[in-house]
Structure 1
Amino acid sequence: MAQAHRQRAAEIFLRGVAAADPAASTASALRGLDLRAKAGGRVAVLAVGKAAFGMTRAAIEVLGGRVHPADVLVVTHDDAKRLGHLDALRSGHPLPDERGHAAAREVERRAAELGAGDLALVLISGGASALLPAPAPGVLLEDKLEATRQLLRGGATIHELNAVRKHLSTIKGGGLLRQLRPAQVLTLALSDVIDDEPSVIGSGPTAPDPSTFEDALAVLVRCGVAETCPTPVRERLEAGARGELEETPKPGDPVFDGAIYRIAGGNRTSVRAMAAACDAEVEAEPLEGEAREVGAALARRFAAGPPDAYVAGGETTVTVRGAGRGGRSQELALAFALEAAKGPLAERADWVFLAAGTDGRDGPTDAAGAIVDAATVTRIRTAGVDPVAAMEENDSYGALDAAGALLRTGATGTNVADVVLFLSKA
């Protein structure tokens, strides 16, 4: 029965992924706008993120002859599958690299060419922040990378990471919109953040930034990295906090007058599609917090009375303690399996639990996530792996791989954060 549940769970997950199809979402959003009234000159398309190909294809189909191929720029990651004749600048993900830095410079060059009669159509999807690094003056890409590594080890949330990134960049935090002006700017986003907050999606390159240099500096302190992060990072944030550097544009800044920002799709799109496929109970609130704690809490909750089907979406975090491999969905799934093994769920063979990233890539691994069941922990131990030690080393990938529990889908072409599914009926 468990194998049938596993197959059914994977099918439901893929249905959720399909519901967040970037091409369909983008086409629907564009058809609801009177683009002709927005610009009489060139239409420049800039697509950045894991769903960049699909979003660009839809934009070209809807806009037709208004878009010249020379005015289309796609920036995406190495695993993204090319669509038709579209080509792209490839950048590093999840860790930014010099290719991304070069892509950012090309974006800024093209932005400077646009005038008041032009329309800039900016298409943003998950991964955009890492794919388009643009270090501020005095800060090197390696400085930003090291600061990010330290913040992740310190347990920084996505909002905290973005507060720091925006103040170390010339593109993030509304910086791109500043450079695109005086052109008309229309942004469509396929959201990979749970509250669909524009300032967080892709670190908000065309959105107002409510965070400040002081906020970014406070993140370094809270995460315990103020003294260990690269000196140029700390010095820039300190200078900004003293008022010596220009702040990112805030809500109400005239630079945003007339700019349009629309959410084309998001995590709830996938959650609703998955729930419809199995008549599931839907979690009202997004899953957030430490991945291992969320996974264990769900296992305790379901031990008291497992639902027939349950679906939730969210984006948890992982505080890196060891040197293993894995991602937040894999760590959440392993934590669920370990906690389930301690209680009534261990005696039942009629359930599976899936945790996966909708982009098909959980952390720096080749797995989207994992599907665990009552026998997962036993299979891990039978393979000679200590699942508790693996958790402490953040090696959820190794433990789950040993049990044959990893879910591998390949790159999906979309990214609307993570989903979980508990299933105990066929």
Structure 2
Amino acid sequence: MNVRMRQDARQIFAEALAAAQPAAAFATCLRLDGDRLVAGGRSGLDLGGLDRVYVLGIGKAAPAMARALGALVAPRALAGYLVAKAGQGEAVPGCQVVEAAHPVPDARSVAAVEGALRWLDSSVPPAAPVVVLVSGGSSALFSLPAGRLTIADKAAVTELLLRCGADIGEVNCVRKHLSAVKGGQLARRLGHRPALTLALSDVVGDRLDIIGSGPTVADASSFADAWQVLERYELTLKVPDAVRHHLEAGLAGQIPETMRSDDPILANKNAVVAGNNLAACHAAKECARRLGYRPLLVSDHITGDTAHCAAFHAVLAYDVVYAHRPVAPPVCLISGGETTVRLQGGGLGGRNMEFVLHCVRRLAACIVPAVVLSAGTDGNDGPTDAAGALADNATLARAQMLGLDPGEFLSRNDSYRFFQPLNDLVITGPTGTNVMDIRVVLIGEPVRPAAGGDPGEMP
């Protein structure tokens, strides 16, 4: 094993993670100008002469975002309602913190919405300004089924969409059209209160109408779009009957579309992306430079099938190793985004661990020292306690000594159980943020090219 390069990869990811923290993001994006909270240099919220700031936070990063906001608006106190992932509901002064389910919603997710609406009605004056904090996981954590739908209906659809390989934009498109609060409908529940939404982006492209299913912003999608997602993945006959009937009613114009941009309720409501994957990638790039690598930011928009994305990164590494293109090693390739996995087995894992597992054989064939790390900034890759994994040139040999075959584990989507006995999982615990994934590919000093070093062709 190349201990130093492994340590470097972990340090690069750690610094990317630090840049994705709400406190770091808010320090860059937010400022207090007298009684006005200014975001992104343009949007703002007049806090008036109130001695408190009303805050509604939803998502995996809700507690950390609220703490960062509290530090910024001090000495004003926070008065808030926060919805966090089960097991991650850290206390925040002045805020009621409730926990809900993720990635599949359940009764706790419904109770979280009902509690938030009661809080708005009973604790927030009808003209008081509200700061809304939205981060990854909001769609599942904050779930109120529309019409006659049940949370069991929404959970079934979520399971189907997650298993079929749909991307987050497609998943949230369907979610919005089965919800009473997504797609701008929470803005209606805020009434005439002025509001500023601060979002940590966990979606490629940073679209506010997709982050957390856009609860307080105008929605660009339609019932027709939601139906097309189901058709694309051949799910129209697999979803519960109630879901199919609800979407068909929407298609027929019997149910109103989600919030549109010309709705007057949005006149005093603004929203900005306060932090995103690109900021984390830039921090990773600067760390790699300090550690002596030539950093190359591939893209913060990496999406698509995980196996194809692994092959794409292998081709980029091949060019560096054999052609010194675009630069010669030592090189650090950095990318961000969120890939998808079509689940075919009953194993345990996630897209980041699976990405690294696809690289194991290629790393064994590489003629220079190399390390691959891929991890989620929220600290959870799939339904596991790991953020991701890392591997190097020696991983395949170490695995074979333990009787572990990468192909077998890939065939059943069991990447967690491949890397666990190798002690190659990346475990961070809850991070308090979520800006998708970071991938780090370290390529060591070059040697003379030799036969057999091909990292593999694109499938």
TM-score in same-fold range (> 0.5): yes
Question: Where do 1:146-161 residues align within 5 Å?
Answer: 146-161=156-171
- As a proportion of its length, which structure holds more helix? 1
| Superposition deviation, residue 39 in structure 1 | 4.7
> Structure 2: how far apart are the matches of 1:270 and 1:256?
31
Most deviating of 265-274 and 282-291 = 282-291
Name which of 77, 82, 86 aligns with 2:85.
Answer: 77
Matched, 1:381 2:368: no
Q: Does the Cα contact within 8 Å between 1:112 and 1:180 map onto a contact in 2?
A: no
**Residue matched to 2:113:** 104
> Structure 2: how far apart are the matches of 1:153 and 1:368?
19
| Superposition deviation, residue 340 in structure 1 | 3.6
**Residue matched to 1:198:** 208
**Residue matched to 2:21:** 21
> Structure 1: how far apart are the matches of 2:46 and 2:431?
34
**Residue matched to 1:338:** 361
Name which of 160, 183, 186 aligns with 2:196.
Answer: 186
Matched, 1:305 2:344: no
Larger radius of gyration: 2
> Structure 2: how far apart are the matches of 1:285 and 1:278?
16
Write out per-residue CA displacement over residues 9-58 of structure 1, whole angstroms, 9 at most, x where no aligned residue. 11111111011111232355341561473556674211111111121112
Q: Does the Cα contact within 8 Å between 1:27 and 1:59 map onto a contact in 2?
A: no
**Residue matched to 1:172:** 182
SS of 1:352's equivalent? strand
> Structure 2: how far apart are the matches of 1:130 and 1:112?
23
SS of 1:305's equivalent? helix
Q: Does the Cα contact within 8 Å between 1:51 and 1:413 map onto a contact in 2?
A: yes
SS of 2:179's equivalent? coil
Cα distance change on mapping 1:250 and 1:84 into 2, 3 Å: closer
> Structure 1: how far apart are the matches of 2:211 and 2:201?
6
TM-score normalised by structure 2 residue count? 0.87
SS of 1:144's equivalent? helix
| Superposition deviation, residue 167 in structure 1 | 0.5
Q: Does the Cα contact within 8 Å between 1:40 and 1:118 map onto a contact in 2?
A: no
Name which of 201, 223, 226 aligns with 1:216.
Answer: 226
**Residue matched to 2:457:** none
> Structure 1: how far apart are the matches of 2:433 and 2:12?
16
Residues matched between the structures, number: 420
Cα distance change on mapping 1:84 and 1:188 into 2, 3 Å: closer
> Structure 1: how far apart are the matches of 2:56 and 2:261?
23
Q: Does the Cα contact within 8 Å between 1:38 and 1:184 map onto a contact in 2?
A: no
> Structure 1: how far apart are the matches of 2:83 and 2:141?
7
Q: Does the Cα contact within 8 Å between 2:227 and 2:247 map onto a contact in 1?
A: yes
Matched, 1:90 2:99: yes
| Superposition deviation, residue 386 in structure 1 | 2.2
SS of 2:384's equivalent? coil
Most deviating of 91-100 and 241-250 = 91-100
| Superposition deviation, residue 315 in structure 1 | 0.7
Most deviating of 129-138 and 37-46 = 37-46
| Superposition deviation, residue 397 in structure 1 | 0.9
Unaligned 5+ runs, structure 1: none
2:81 is matched by which residue type in structure 1? L
Name which of 309, 320, 329 aligns with 2:343.
Answer: 320
| Superposition deviation, residue 185 in structure 1 | 1.0
| Superposition deviation, residue 155 in structure 1 | 1.9
Question: Where do 1:402-417 residues align within 5 Å?
Answer: 402-417=421-436
1:133 is matched by which residue type in structure 2? S
> Structure 2: how far apart are the matches of 1:275 and 1:87?
38
Write out per-residue CA displacement over residues 262-319 of structure 1, whole angstroms, 9 at most, x where no aligned residue. 1111101110000001121111452110112111221233123245111111111111
Question: Where do 1:385-396 residues align within 5 Å?
Answer: 385-396=404-415
Matched, 1:56 2:62: no
Name which of 143, 152, 169 aligns with 1:133.
Answer: 143
> Structure 1: how far apart are the matches of 2:116 and 2:92?
22
| Superposition deviation, residue 115 in structure 1 | 5.0
> Structure 1: how far apart are the matches of 2:28 and 2:191?
26
